[in-house]
Structure 1
Amino acid sequence: MEYETPLFFRVMEYASQAEGDVIDMVSGNPDWEPPQALRDGLHEYADREPDAFQYPPSEGLLELREEIAARRGVDREQVVVTNGAGEANYLAMARALERDRGDEIILTDPVYPYYPGKTTMLGGTQSFVAANENGQLDPADVCEAASEETAAIVANSPNNPTGAVYPEETMRKLVAIAEEYDAVLISDEVYDHFDLSGNFSSALAVDSDHRIVTNAFSKSLAITGFRVGYAIFPPELVANAKSRHMLVNVAGSRPSQYAVLQALCGTGPDYYERNRDRLRERVDAFTDALDLTGAEYTTPEGAFYVMARFEGYPGTLENVFELIDEAGVAGMPGNAFGDSRSDWLRFALVTPRVEEAADRLAAYFE
């Protein structure tokens, strides 16, 4: 079996080799400071006894799992600390397919491209349900696509790439569909701290044995390099997930988990609110400048991405390369996220040069 290298890496590699100054709006790496409590925790950890530098428990540090469980209202035995949200989603999708209820995984279009890649890697088949023009997912469309072959439904809210935030009614109906077809709803909530609308609803609000919630601290604490995520499984599904996690990774990073725990315990809500305010300002600045180009664009309800469509300029990899060379702005081609947004480009607002990037785009398309 052959796996295609994600387009993210091809775009970033091209941008890194380009001549001249290029503003990176490709990857979701927050450019702001992590919490001070996290830095303090790392400094403290460096002076600990030698046993602190050995393997942690495979499922994660007990204290971190307890903290996550308390915050999410679940039993700590349901929590598996993972190598970022990427592994959390991998474990969740694998667990859904292992139930032998079918091999189909329902995904949205547009879609975060790692989901279909993981589906292929795990031997599943992909089925896509188109989101509407605002990125919202209609549960009726999901229900129509579901069948006895459906193993899982993957939902991502706040959504990458559309910025849509699914309301509580949508999440409840998606769980109900999973229950009806004896499938599993996998709810990727990695951008939950970047809900700009106030409408975010976790799948954990629905008491069900047919939903798995995944998350990570990569975005919320601005530490994508720490690779600390987690998955919350129903009690009857968690044991095999822990075993697969142990076989794939043995364990995660003990210092990273310790630092995350210190950050959770020592960081107040104002940290997250400041970053949401920062993103609101960037969305306004970026879209105001896009108005000058006559572009059509999405205004995100959450996460930190804007999709834009420039007349006569489809979202192909070749056009992305051209923007890097001619405008000095690196974004992602819309066709990386599926068929429905192939005319669009996606830009990550995790750079202090957001307004400058938009001005460059305006100058290029004027």
Structure 2
Amino acid sequence: MDTEYETPLFFHVMEYAGNADTDVIDMVSGNPDWEPPAALRDGLHEYADSNPDQFQYPPSEGVLELREEIAERRGVATEQVVITNGAGEANYLAMARALERDRGSEIVLTEPVYPYYPGKTTMLGGTTNFVETAADGQLEPDDVRAAASDETAAIVVNSPNNPTGAVYSRETIRELVAIAEEHDAILVSDEVYDHFDLTGRFASALEFDSDHRIVTNAFSKSLAITGFRVGYAIFPPDLVENAKSRHMLVNVAGSRPSQYAVLHALRETGPNYYEQNRDRLRERVETFTDALDAAGAEYTTPQGAFYVMARFDGYPGTLENVERLIDETGVAGMPGEAFGDSRREWLRFALVSPRVEEAAERLARYFE
């Protein structure tokens, strides 16, 4: 049976913006516009002088020293860590392992949803079941419990959240782990924005000892290196070996220079780097939401990550309206319909541009 996959709307919007005749401010993609740590560049320079044997395949599951560094930081065994091609592959491996257990074929997702999750579910032959979040993006565990069943293979959550900016409480994460255990399912906790928690209340699923949770992450956002493609997944001991095999069959191995540079950056970069980036984000949130106030828009104030969802009266979040906004204001955002039915009236803007203030002014003028 042929299966058709939808091309994510991200690519369509970025292509449309790139072909525009006017100056366009990109607020579509989550590419940080700030500098990576200095130690990352130092690591690349150091790697360039390595012996030729260091230019060959690394271990398929990742450079050992990097896996050890991650394991120590996250309080797990090195054997549980698999280095992946960004968080995207980490989530793919996690969802695949959940479905391969033959405990069901359903993936429970939140609504609004990061579009790649349902896309991966389709790719892996699973079915989707959506649980709608509150207006501020918070997830009610009782709603997840009501949706879960013996057919549930996995519950996939993302905190801090894309697109709503919600940060789930420790109690919520604890309950989600418990729900996974009750149904012999797997909680897949995507924590790629953990360094962009603006509340100080972020809770990792690793805080709860369980064989029913897989944690995924990456350095794409935290080190401002989306092009390096270094992510990781932390599996329960009984699920990790097949994940390593699937990773090897799909990728053979990851990039050794990228992993080398990331390891160097982790070892040499202090907490001030991350705090400066959070401060920058806080300022941008204030600037952008002030302009949305001026435009009379309804919006979500992110608790983490770097996205704002906004609703302008009489201007639903369709692809057609996003293209119109590009043409008439020179601001490119994402249509809310890309994230599910519950946000069809909304637009999503990524605050990873040095021109956030200018974009805000353009939107305020357009909708005033």
Instruction: Calculate the TM-score normalised by the size of structure 1.
Output: 1.00
Q: Deviations over 1:35-88 (max 9, x none)?
A: 000000000111110000000000000000000000000000000000000000
- Aligned amino acid, residue 43 of structure 1: H
- CA drift at 1:20: 1.1
Secondary structure of the equivalent of 1:201? coil
Aligned residue among 224, 234, 237 for 1:235:
237
Structure 2 residues without counterparts, runs of 5 or longer: none
Is it true that 1:124 corresponds to 2:126 in the alignment? yes
Structure 1 residues without counterparts, runs of 5 or longer: none
- CA drift at 1:34: 0.2
2:25 corresponding residue in structure 1: 23
Secondary structure of the equivalent of 2:128? strand
Aligned residue among 264, 267, 288 for 1:262:
264
Aligned counterparts of 2:237 and 2:353: Cα–Cα separation in 1: 41
Aligned residue among 209, 212, 215 for 1:210:
212
Aligned residue among 295, 298, 317 for 1:296:
298
Aligned residue among 81, 84, 94 for 1:82:
84
Aligned counterparts of 2:282 and 2:222: Cα–Cα separation in 1: 15
Is it true that 1:52 corresponds to 2:54 in the alignment? yes
Secondary structure of the equivalent of 2:199? coil
Secondary structure of the equivalent of 2:214? strand
- Aligned amino acid, residue 244 of structure 1: R
1:346 corresponding residue in structure 2: 348
Aligned counterparts of 1:323 and 1:199: Cα–Cα separation in 2: 35
2:40 corresponding residue in structure 1: 38
- Aligned amino acid, residue 91 of structure 2: N
- Aligned amino acid, residue 18 of structure 2: S
Q: Deviations over 1:296-338 (max 9, x none)?
A: 0000000000000000000000000000000100000001000
Aligned counterparts of 1:327 and 1:297: Cα–Cα separation in 2: 19
- Aligned amino acid, residue 324 of structure 2: E
Secondary structure of the equivalent of 2:285? helix
- Aligned amino acid, residue 224 of structure 2: A
1:1-366 matches, within 5 Å, as: 1-366=3-368
Secondary structure of the equivalent of 2:343? coil
Instruction: Calculate the TM-score normalised by the size of structure 2.
Output: 0.99
Identity %: 82
Secondary structure of the equivalent of 1:128? strand
**Alignment RMSD (CA, Å):** 0.3
- Aligned amino acid, residue 316 of structure 1: T
- Aligned amino acid, residue 268 of structure 1: G
Aligned counterparts of 2:296 and 2:367: Cα–Cα separation in 1: 9
- Aligned amino acid, residue 105 of structure 2: D
Q: Deviations over 1:12-45 (max 9, x none)?
A: 0000000110000000000000000000000011
Secondary structure of the equivalent of 2:291? helix
- Aligned amino acid, residue 333 of structure 1: P
Aligned counterparts of 1:201 and 1:184: Cα–Cα separation in 2: 18
Aligned counterparts of 1:172 and 1:362: Cα–Cα separation in 2: 41
Aligned counterparts of 2:241 and 2:304: Cα–Cα separation in 1: 33
